[in-house]
């Protein structure tokens, strides 16, 4: 049975496009009011208008770079100023980089870690007490199939997603007695702007899925009687994740490196 989100409030990061926008549409259709966080104000405002008109929910757009200093405090202040209590959080904001680490821009690597890991952890910690107290919502942290093995030529990105997977599965256990549903969403290649930011499709492994397909996997997991602490989108992706966990790293890492440079 679909979980009822009527009258709840959900924060969604990276909400201006791709998976974030799809999560926003899905939760709004279930009655959730939204706080949409991303850098592009025009896209956030357009999405807010769309969802308010379609579903009659209240949508608060917040244009913000979550990798910037003080960004998480700014989200918290934005929420408090409006008297909102947060029931759900979708940590979707993040980006990847492709190429040898020794040739990567150091500042960009630092930004990637701050966004993919730092902001995600800080937002989760900031709102977890009220989400567990509410017990009506969900916590979704978006990782990747890159989380299941080291990823040469996307070394920092793969490591950030492995962190997200480990972190979220642990939080899922810690909060298991509350009504909060917690899962890590691990998509493979998805038709979003991800590879435009990466700058190449060499990093793509497997067939593309649509954002709607990926979000539907997450929602089925969250609606299940027992929500799994992590879920992989796509049967082939799920099988590959299992295989990566069973094979010796000495075999998995060179295989992954070849896939990253095909």
- Measured distance CA(215)–CA(49) in Å, rounded: 21
Instruction: For residue range 217-242, list pLDDT tens digits in order.
Output: 999 999 999 999 999 998 888 888 88
- Mean local confidence (pLDDT), 91-103: 95
Confidence at residue 223, expressed as pLDDT on a 0 to 100 scale: 97
pLDDT at residue 193, rounded to an integer? 59
Average pLDDT over residues 46-63: 97
105-134: average pLDDT: 98
* pLDDT score recorded for residue 194: 54
Q: Are 102 and 96 in contact (CB under 8 A)?
A: no
What pLDDT is recorded for position 248? 84
Q: Which residue has the tokens 């989400």?
A: 131
Residue 2 confidence (pLDDT): 83
Do 14 and 71 touch, CB atoms closer than 8 A? no
The whole-number average pLDDT for the span 27-44 is: 96
The percent of residues in the chain predicted with pLDDT above 70, rounded, is 94
Across 123-137, average pLDDT: 98
Higher pLDDT, 194 or 227: 227
pLDDT at 69: 95
The whole-number pLDDT of residue 245 equals: 84
> Is the pLDDT reported for residue 208 higher than 80?
no
Q: Who wins on pLDDT, 125 or 248?
A: 125
CATH topology of domain 9-260: Rossmann fold (3.40.50)
In this prediction, residue 13 carries a pLDDT of 98
State the pLDDT at residue 30: 97
| pLDDT interval class at 159 (50, 70, 90) | very high
Report the pLDDT averaged over residues 61-84.
Answer: 97
Choose the weakest-confidence range: 92-96, 99-103, 253-257. Answer: 253-257
Residues with catalytic function: 157
pLDDT at position 209: 87
* pLDDT value, residue 110: 97
């Amino acid at each position: 049975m679909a979980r009822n989100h009527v009258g709840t409030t959900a924060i969604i990061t990276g909400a201006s496009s791709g998976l974030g926008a799809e999560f926003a549409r899905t939760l709004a259709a279930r009655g959730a009011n939204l706080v949409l966080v991303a850098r592009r104000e025009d896209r956030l405002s357009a999405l807010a208008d769309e969802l308010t008109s379609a579903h009659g929910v209240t949508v608060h757009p917040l244009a913000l770079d979550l990798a910037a200093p003080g960004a998480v405090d700014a989200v918290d202040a934005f929420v408090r100023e409006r008297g909102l209590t947060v029931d759900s959080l979708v940590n979707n904001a993040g980006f990847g980089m492709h190429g040898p680490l020794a040739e990567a821009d150091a500042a960009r690597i630092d930004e990637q870690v701050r966004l993919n890991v730092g902001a995600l952890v800080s937002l989760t910690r900031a709102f977890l007490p009220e989400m567990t107290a509410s017990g009506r919502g969900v916590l979704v942290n978006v990782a990747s199939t890159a989380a299941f093995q080291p990823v040469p030529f996307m070394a920092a990105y793969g490591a950030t997603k492995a962190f997200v997977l480990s972190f979220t599965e642990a939080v899922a256990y810690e909060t298991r007695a509350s009504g909060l549903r917690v899962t890590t969403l691990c998509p493979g290649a998805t038709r979003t702007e991800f590879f435009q930011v990466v700058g190449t499709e060499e990093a793509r492994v497997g067939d593309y899925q649509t954002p709607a397909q990926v979000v539907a996997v997450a929602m089925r997991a969250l609606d299940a009687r027992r929500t799994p602490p992590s879920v992989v989108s796509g049967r082939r992706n799920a099988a590959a994740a299992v295989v990566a966990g069973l094979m010796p790293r000495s075999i998995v890492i060179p295989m992954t490196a070849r896939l990253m440079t095909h």
